[in-house]
Structure 1
Amino acid sequence: MSTVHAYAASKANGVLEPFEYQLGAIGPQEVDIAVEFCGICHSDLSMLENAWGMTQFPLVPGHEVVGKVKAAGDQVSHLSVGERVGLGWHAGYCMTCDQCFGGHHNLCSDAQPTIAGRHGGFADTVRAHSASVVKLPDNLNAKKAGPLFCGGMTVFDPLVQFGISPTGRIGVIGIGGLGHLALKFARAWGCHVTAFTSGEGKEQAALDFGAHEVINSRAPNAIKGATGRFDLLLSTVNVKLDWNSYIGLLKPRGRLHLLGAVTTPLDLNLIPMMFSQLSVSSSPVGSPATMRKMLEFAARHDVTPVTEHFPMDKVNDAMEHLRSGKARYRIILDR
């Protein structure tokens, strides 16, 4: 038995307070990670608010973990004690379903979210199944890498899954925690990248992140002027937009891919989509294999999030900073 020192909320929208719990004997395929850094994702805030109706209290948030392996089960062969690793949204998979056997672990119906039904990384230690834990490349900045394990994985996965060509044209809707990483990855992928933003003063930032051009999403004429231009639109916002206007920006066989957790129904005009064979889709993070590719790609092309840092004991200040919408662009807790 070992004692974990964490920060937990006992109710929806509650204050995160010091919390201790006991870890039993480590399983043969599990690893314990000594947390060094933990990113704060908007999903942590949603879980704290019980916005999705799935939160179990007490809740220890945190699913963008970077740290060192402090213990490993006797069947773990690909990770060693002392290695620096990362953990994202999933802390385990069934490993036997068709999705797991097919390499799509993130689609496993029995996947175990790191912060649902178990305790996450706002702590000194977090435990996970070894299949969900990925070694960090040596040349990747560990202090800034945490957001890659959720936010970075979310925006990188569509580039792989849809076989996006480096000659393609990609539009990114929303330049925030997800969107700024989408711009960086898409530019490094080789694509022509356009940023759509309604935020004042974000035009230069979007260009700095890799956009070749910026379109004001509040200017109908500017949007209309981009009709039929894009192979892929990545939406990173979590609010309802005029989706039909954006679908009109796609080339034939183009795709609008939703990455922000929009909870309202989509109102789509089917006929224009049918005649141009357009698609609307969404996806949750990615598999461990894709995560390894993402980390290697990020290290090779120097793709790192723009981060703000808080000490772990200022976690409530950090959460309020995120809630206020002032984060630029990802927040990381340092132990």
Structure 2
Amino acid sequence: MTRRAYAVEQAGGPVQVREYEPEPLGPLEVEVAVTHSGICHTDLGMIDDEWGISNFPVVAGHEAVGVVEALGDAVDRTRLAVGQRVGVGATAGSCFACEWCLSGRQQLCPAKDNVVVRGTGGAFASHVRAGDWRHVQPIPDVIASEHAGPFLCAGTTVFPPLLHHSVRPTDRVAVVGIGGLGHLAIQFLAKWGCHVTAISSTPGKSDDARRFGAHDFVATNEGTGLDRVSNSFDFVLSTVSADLLWDAYLATLRPRGTLCVLGLPNGALTVTPLSLLPGERTLVGGVTGSPTETRQMLDFAARHDIRPQVEVFPATRMDEALDHVRRGRAHYRAVLEL
């Protein structure tokens, strides 16, 4: 049966509809008819060849929600069924044989099926195929499809650090950046029980930050800026794709605090030794979570009524939607209805 994909033939677009005939389904694969797909900044990075790794034509999209249409012969039918609503996120398969997979850290598998950098076969299409059914996520009934997509990248990026770094409900934490990742991070941390401070270069986002659950707000373009929160936080989550004054953010940590960087800075991440060593502070990075962590994140979001704030665009307005995200105008995630 002919499939439809929204492809970009050269850096920067525009999107063109391409039709193709799918390959036979592999034994572990799952074919999903896509109804919604979130738009992530990484999708724009591939479409615009921001990192020089794109192979055109590019079919982007890695936050797919839809309905299972076909299952490979080796898929566990007790876990997935034709007609079931599911999500396919940034990682759609892994080897399940390396040390990382066997220890439950499939997101670190060297052979993982990374939908973000596939180039073809992304979620901006009528169908998306997961390389391994164990990476396909059933969507809780209470989460609408237009809300589910952003959880499959943004949600599973900001939630696992709470587990990895033993963030406690008694901790004082900060989220840097109130955007697609940051507005979900604030909600997760507030429901986790933490005292949350939102940090932004945009003072006008104060009301939104508090609506998402922040208890305090710091505008970095004001005179006092980060000075008033020096030595304040046990954990700081940076969600911005920008070069920051890293020593200044490390100075906001209490002794043995952790700065976790999730956004992708443009330049080198440089710190002075005195920002780290005397206080035994930690600087770490993060990526999307494992299948287990993604399921835990979806369950937590369903239980605590956490949702992304989205703007929904029909497929006929895909170029407009992509440019909307490209210009930083999305409040706070853009989602395509396919």
Compute the TM-score of the two structures, normalised by the length of structure 1.
0.97
1:156 pairs, out of 150, 154, 159, with: 159
Give the RMSD, CA atoms, in angstroms: 1.1
Aligned residue for 1:172, secondary structure, equals strand
Q: Which amino acid aligns with 1:90?
A: T
Q: How far 1:115 moved relative to its partner?
A: 3.7
Aligned residue for 2:13, secondary structure, equals coil
Structure 1 segments, 4+ long, off by >6 Å, are none
Q: 2:94 matched to 1:88?
A: no
How far apart are the structure 2 equivalents of 1:46 and 1:197?
Answer: 23
Aligned residue for 2:175, secondary structure, equals strand
Q: 2:255 matched to 1:252?
A: yes
Asked whether the 8 Å contact 2:68–2:86 carries over to 1, the reply is yes
Deviations 1:295-324 (A, max 9, x none): 000000011000000001211010011111
1:172 pairs, out of 158, 172, 175, with: 175
Deviations 1:219-273 (A, max 9, x none): 2523111111101111111111111011001011101111101131112011231
Find the counterpart in structure 2 of residue 295 from structure 1.
298
Asked whether the 8 Å contact 1:306–1:329 carries over to 2, the reply is yes
Q: Which amino acid aligns with 1:63?
A: H
Aligned residue for 2:122, secondary structure, equals coil
Find the counterpart in structure 2 of residue 75 from structure 1.
74
Find the counterpart in structure 1 of residue 48 from structure 2.
49
Structure 2, gaps ≥5 residues long: none
Find the counterpart in structure 2 of residue 28 from structure 1.
27
Q: % of aligned pairs identical?
A: 42
How far apart are the structure 2 equivalents of 1:13 and 1:88?
Answer: 23
How far apart are the structure 1 equivalents of 2:128 and 2:269?
Answer: 37
Find the counterpart in structure 1 of residue 198 from structure 2.
195
Asked whether the 8 Å contact 2:311–2:332 carries over to 1, the reply is yes
2:234 pairs, out of 231, 235, 241, with: 231
Q: How far 1:200 moved relative to its partner?
A: 3.8
Aligned residue for 2:307, secondary structure, equals coil
Q: Which amino acid aligns with 1:211?
A: A
Find the counterpart in structure 2 of residue 124 from structure 1.
126
Find the counterpart in structure 1 of residue 63 from structure 2.
64
CA shift in 2, pair 1:334/1:247, >3 Å: same
Greater alpha carbon shift after TM alignment, 321-330 vs 48-57: 48-57
How far apart are the structure 2 equivalents of 1:115 and 1:307?
Answer: 20
Deviations 1:8-37 (A, max 9, x none): 001111211101122111011100001011
2:317 pairs, out of 314, 317, 320, with: 314
Q: 2:286 matched to 1:283?
A: yes
Q: Which amino acid aligns with 2:104?
A: G
Q: Which amino acid aligns with 2:145?
A: A
Greater alpha carbon shift after TM alignment, 136-145 vs 160-169: 136-145
Compute the TM-score of the two structures, normalised by the length of structure 2.
0.97
Q: Which amino acid aligns with 2:160?
A: D
Asked whether the 8 Å contact 2:31–2:127 carries over to 1, the reply is yes
How far apart are the structure 1 equivalents of 2:201 and 2:242?
Answer: 13
Structure 1, gaps ≥5 residues long: none
Find the counterpart in structure 1 of residue 136 from structure 2.
133
